[in-house]
Amino acid sequence: MEEKMTLREHFQIALRAVRWTFSIDRRYTLCLFACALFSAVAPFAAVYFSARVIDALAAGLIAQAALYAALAVGVTFLLRAAATAADSVKQTTSEVYFGESWKHAEKAMSMAYGSIESRDVALLRERISIETQTGYNRYFLFRSIESLTGNVTKIVSALALSASFFTLPSVPAGWKIALIVGTIVTMIAAVALGALEGRSRERFMKNCVHANLMGRKYGDYISEYASGQDIRLYGMEELVAGGLLAEDMAMDRLNAVFERQRALFGVPVTVLRHAMQFTAYAALILGALAGGVSVGGIAQYVACLMMMLSALESLSVSARRAMENDHYMKRYFSYFDIPNDMYQGTLTVEKRDDNDYNIEFRDVSFKYPGNDAYALRHVNLAFKVGEKLAVVGENGSGKTTFIKLLCRLYDPTEGEIRLNGVDIRKYDYDEYMSLFSVVFQDFKLFSFRLGQVVASNRTFDAARARDCLRKANFGDRLDMLPEGLDSFLYRDCDRSGFELSGGEAQKIALARALYKDAPFILLDEPTAALDPVSEYEVYSNFNAISGDRTAVYISHRLASCRFCDRIAVFDHGAIAQNGSHETLLGDAKGKYRTLWTAQAQYYETRA
């Protein structure tokens, strides 16, 4: 069971949940309420007017009977028509699902990068997604709104139409008290058995969440075409499909147990309800014999009592379900409440035609969220417009972290980074981001048309996209694509899509960075996946590629950094050396010299 929530908390979450449904789709939510309300009132209108028809007939008032009959049919028809209309508007409003997906997309895109990357956030997102798929959150919330509105309306209507029963002088007081006590006992039984049923359902639903999680895992393995080769080569059909089947069968067994228990828990309340019906009939017949209850009245009171008892039973189940769902909604909202703790500045970044932007790292230290170790320590470095800076160092020395801080995927733990003398946190985030074209080592290309991928936009300037692809050495491959820039990357979305090798993907990522045409270009191992010829071409073209932009270039291949104006050597998160290739090489005890000699020896031995 989830941790306990106070009634106040339940109330707050429920209120927020209703406000939330309104915020994703106002029309859908209104129809949800309206449909439940009209459907609940309709049978009471029918009961009330039918009772009047019977009474009028009994009194021989034919015209009045006809009028009530017309009202019985007309009012019921109108109420049902209103309910059907609300329901059909609701059915056609698919925006409620898009609306929710869009809220997720908005959240994911507006979160601080550090949160997106966090394992806890990823687990929370996975968990609420699977719980939503199982029915919690959105679906149960809608059902609860429907059921609570409907049942409360039924109870109020039943009370309204049966209140006069208690004023009937011909029904002995003892019978009235018996009916009130009976109703209370039935209600208590319904709540107690509802609690038992609820516990059994919660257990079952928890297993559904688990089964859905496993189903998603196995489903991904099976449907992901990239895993098809491993499944075949290692004969993993039994392992994968067998696992899925075992989960399904376990689910079926639990479902059968749950349904049996549900049927069993319903028996006592059904018995009590019918005992109450019998008591009500007896009381009313006694009243009728004493001449104080009409035939129509008997029909009305008994029908109202039965409908009220069934609504009370239903209300106890749905209130419990709603309260159970509150625990899930609480977790659901906790995801949306994850704050974007990055400081959001408002300064506009000066648009400069001369690209005269200066960057300075001032005693910057950084720990990744949740990590105790420093990934960067006391980094001081300044670079000017147009400069080509190479960043070298062993794996794990902090090169990528340096780039990530520069383009504000994280904020420094200590110290500050300045752009033209101002702390970068003070700038408007999006404007600051627009200054950088970056190719990360673990870049991601999405399955859109090649031109769209290069432009990162639905529309693109074809000539510019082609030019960037050629500069990134993808020209020959582009010429071979029958649909050119309109070709789809990968086959996820389009059968005619083309697959990419790691090197080709890296070239497209580079073209995408060039297309953005930002004043800074940051390349993290841009040739790691390239063949030697392409690598050589990227190096030789590097000055042409980066033009007058300020470029930061990470590589552990030192030979490729010689063309840079300056080289910063990272070692265990700190800058060990900083200078031109010749100067650094001149320092016999320096890290650069050590790295250089090691690499030179490697190439010589290989040659």
Cβ–Cβ under 8 Å, residues 487 and 450: yes
3-class SS string, 372-437: CCEEEEEEEEEECCCCEEEEEECCCCCHHHHHHHHCCCCCCCEEEEEECCEEHHHECHHHHHCCEE
For ligand ADP, the closer CB: 375 or 489: 375
Reduced to 3 states, what is the DSSP secondary structure of residue 242? helix
For ligand ADP, the closer CB: 40 or 381: 381
Please give the span between the terminal C-alpha atoms of the chain, in angstroms, as a whole number.
66
- State the nearest-atom distance from the C-beta of 367 to ligand ADP, in Å: 8
Q: Residue 555 interacts with ligand ADP (CB under 6 A)?
A: no
- State the nearest-atom distance from the C-beta of 600 to ligand ADP, in Å: 21
For ligand ADP, the closer CB: 204 or 368: 368
- State the nearest-atom distance from the C-beta of 354 to ligand ADP, in Å: 31
Q: Residue 371 interacts with ligand ADP (CB under 6 A)?
A: yes
Instruction: At 131, list the tokens.
Output: 């719980």
Run of H or E including 570: strand 566-571
CA 190 to chain centre: 36
Phi, psi (rounded to 5 degrees) for 201 = -70, -40
Four-CA torsion 567, 570, 571, 576, nearest 10 degrees: 50
Stretch that binds ligand ADP, among 92-100, 254-262, 368-376, 465-473 (CB under 6 A): 368-376
Burial class of residue 522, CB neighbours in 10 A (0-12, 13-18, 19+): buried
Closest-CA residue to 316 (of 183, 470, 124): 183
CA dist 343 and 424 (Å) reads 10
For ligand ADP, the closer CB: 304 or 390: 390
- State the nearest-atom distance from the C-beta of 377 to ligand ADP, in Å: 11
- State the nearest-atom distance from the C-beta of 380 to ligand ADP, in Å: 17
For ligand ADP, the closer CB: 400 or 560: 400
For ligand ADP, the closer CB: 138 or 377: 377
Q: 507: number of CA atoms within 13 Å, CB side? A: 28
Cβ–Cβ under 8 Å, residues 432 and 518: no
CA dist 409 and 493 (Å) reads 30
From the list 87, 95, 100, 117, which residue makes contact with ligand ADP (rule: CB under 6 A)? 117
For ligand ADP, the closer CB: 296 or 398: 398
- State the nearest-atom distance from the C-beta of 375 to ligand ADP, in Å: 3
CA dist 352 and 354 (Å) reads 5
Cβ–Cβ under 8 Å, residues 473 and 467: no
Bridge partners (DSSP) listed for residue 522: 438, 552
60: left (phi over 0), alpha (psi -120 to 50) or beta: left
CA dist 329 and 86 (Å) reads 26
Cβ–Cβ under 8 Å, residues 157 and 306: no
Tokens 């552990």 -> residue: 556
Can you list the pairs that 115-122 forms with residues at least 24 positions away whose Cβ atoms lie under 8 Å? 115/338, 115/340, 117/369, 118/369, 118/370, 120/370, 121/335, 121/338
Q: Binders of ligand ADP among 374-403, rule CB under 6 A?
A: 375, 393, 395-401
CA dist 73 and 60 (Å) reads 20
From the list 113, 204, 333, 368, which residue makes contact with ligand ADP (rule: CB under 6 A)? 368
CA 595 to chain centre: 46
Instruction: At 598, list the tokens.
Output: 């090691």
For ligand ADP, the closer CB: 395 or 605: 395
- State the nearest-atom distance from the C-beta of 95 to ligand ADP, in Å: 37
- State the nearest-atom distance from the C-beta of 189 to ligand ADP, in Å: 56
- State the nearest-atom distance from the C-beta of 535 to ligand ADP, in Å: 19
Q: Residue 466 interacts with ligand ADP (CB under 6 A)?
A: no
Concatenating the DSSP letter of every residue in 337-378 gives T----S----BPPPP-TT----EEEEEEEEE-TT--SEEEEE
Total residues binding ligand ADP (CB under 6 A)? 12
For ligand ADP, the closer CB: 118 or 420: 118
For ligand ADP, the closer CB: 150 or 412: 412
CA dist 123 and 133 (Å) reads 15
For ligand ADP, the closer CB: 154 or 404: 404
**Quick one: the chain helix, strand, coil %, rounded to 5?**
65, 10, 25
- State the nearest-atom distance from the C-beta of 500 to ligand ADP, in Å: 24
For ligand ADP, the closer CB: 122 or 290: 122
- State the nearest-atom distance from the C-beta of 365 to ligand ADP, in Å: 12
For ligand ADP, the closer CB: 167 or 371: 371
Pinpoint the alpha helices (H) of 163-236.
173-223, 225-233
For ligand ADP, the closer CB: 213 or 364: 364
- State the nearest-atom distance from the C-beta of 155 to ligand ADP, in Å: 55
For ligand ADP, the closer CB: 219 or 370: 370
- State the nearest-atom distance from the C-beta of 383 to ligand ADP, in Å: 18
Which residues make up the interface to ligand ADP (CB under 6 A)?
Answer: 117, 368, 371, 375, 393, 395-401
